Amino acid sequence: MIRRQDTRITFPWIGFNVGEIGKTFLVLLLVTLAIIFAAGEEEDVFNHPFYYSNYTSSTNEIVSSVYDILPHGRDKYDKFTNPNNNGTPTDVHFHVTVLNIDNINEDLMSYEVDMLLIKKWKDERLRAGTGNRGKDYIELDIYWSLHLWRPNWLIKNTNMAGMHHFLRLYNDKTVMYVAKLRVALFCPMKFERYPHDTQFCTMEIQSLSQSTKDLVFKWDDSNPLVIDSNLNLPQFNIVTSIVENCTLEYSFGNCTCLKVIFELRRKTGYHVFRTYIPSALLVVFSWISFWIRPEAAAERITVCVTSLLILATQNVVQSLVIFPKVPCIKYIDVWMGFCTAFAIVALLEFALVTHFIEKGYRAENNSCKDIYELDTNADAQSQTQPFAGSTLKRKSNRKRNMSLKLDKISRVLFPIAFLIFNIVYWSIVLI
């Protein structure tokens, strides 16, 4: 009879036996504790054994660690110290390539930009020319930048930002940092000339804490700003884009600053077809009442009131949905106001014509009533009745003729007045 071997582990000092399951659990527990302990240790770049070795890089070896480009010796590199230790500031050269501009929001006064931001500076303390394999630069892991000196910078007027970036070291010890950014920027806008306005939106790149004694931002000498030739904005045209220096003075010193200015001119095609042409046609439509006979009150008031109501509805809807909600009077408000005023005046002209017609009818009715109420003698009645009737009849005809004459004047006066308004309005707008 074969006796089964006892595989239990005995701990006599605690009086406790562990079977197969307990042994497996114990091994897993020890491995887990080892992993947690190892993950909790921080790696110090300056305490790494490779940092103190007598390793000398050759141009044919692959750079596999940040220590391959840092100088030998603990006291020879400090990422918190400027590369220039002779009292002169470090020059950082910037280049911006604009890929897209979109989401221009008049209510929030903001816009979004997709761009490539490139900055270069020299750090003579680094060991360049290692592992380049015949190229004049080597690609570096972006996380290596945590161990290198970097210029302190920010985009001053940004609301939000997203970033993708990479790092490169050239043989002349120039460090190039490239970032693919999407930023939402604040842009103060003026809407007095809307929708014929031109907005100047800026992007400001500024040092956060270092003064011009330690750090100076400069635009790239060859080509500081590039805008994608295929960039087409739905609402604006990019008229010009310029770069300039915007170094500011604060209480703690001068902070270096660079600025990009985009001149954005609004495209008016949308408003021409959705606002200007429809409102002008409604004004012309209200003039149809001048060609309708004065006695047709229902037809005339239908034309005038319909034009006025459509203009008012168009103005209210566009003000709530399309136009920017600002307290100032805009050019488009002036246009809609005058168009509404022309429709109201056409309605008032109809009221005046109706008044003359009603007054003529009243005079004619009074003439008939007075004729039958005459109680004089037959001779006097035979002489007075024709005279009184003809006089009041002429008065009635004169009132109607005045109405017809007012319509004829309006047929000429209203188009001329609207044409003069257009000449003045568009001459001011297109200046």
What are the structural domains, with CATH classification, of the chain?
Answer: 76-267 (2.70.170.10), 270-429 (1.20.58.390)
Q: What are phi and psi of 248, to 5 degrees?
A: -115, 155
Grade residue 60 by pLDDT with cuts at 50, 70 and 90: very low
249-287 pLDDT per residue, tens: 776 678 889 999 999 999 999 999 999 999 999 999 999
Determine the average pLDDT of the residues in 78-105. Answer: 84
C-beta pairs of 332-337 under 8 Å, 24+ apart in sequence: 332/194, 332/195, 332/271, 332/275, 334/425, 335/275, 335/276, 335/279, 335/425, 336/275, 336/279, 336/311
Report yes or no: 191 and 104 within 8 Å, Cβ to Cβ. no
**Mean pLDDT estimate for the chain:** 77
Grade residue 393 by pLDDT with cuts at 50, 70 and 90: low
Indicate the SS3 state at residue 303: helix
Q: Which carries the bigger pLDDT value, residue 128 or residue 166?
A: 166
212-263 pLDDT per residue, tens: 888 899 999 888 999 988 888 888 999 999 999 988 777 667 888 999 999 9
> In this structure, what token pair is assigned to residue 256?
């270096």
357-369 pLDDT per residue, tens: 776 655 555 555 5
Q: What pLDDT was estimated at residue 327?
A: 87
Separation of CA 197 from chain center: 13
Query: How far apart are alpha carbons 69 and 56 in whole angstroms?
Result: 10
Range ranked top by mean pLDDT from 24-33, 129-138, 166-175, 261-270: 261-270
Determine the average pLDDT of the residues in 366-385. Answer: 48
Query: How far apart are alpha carbons 341 and 334 in whole angstroms?
Result: 10
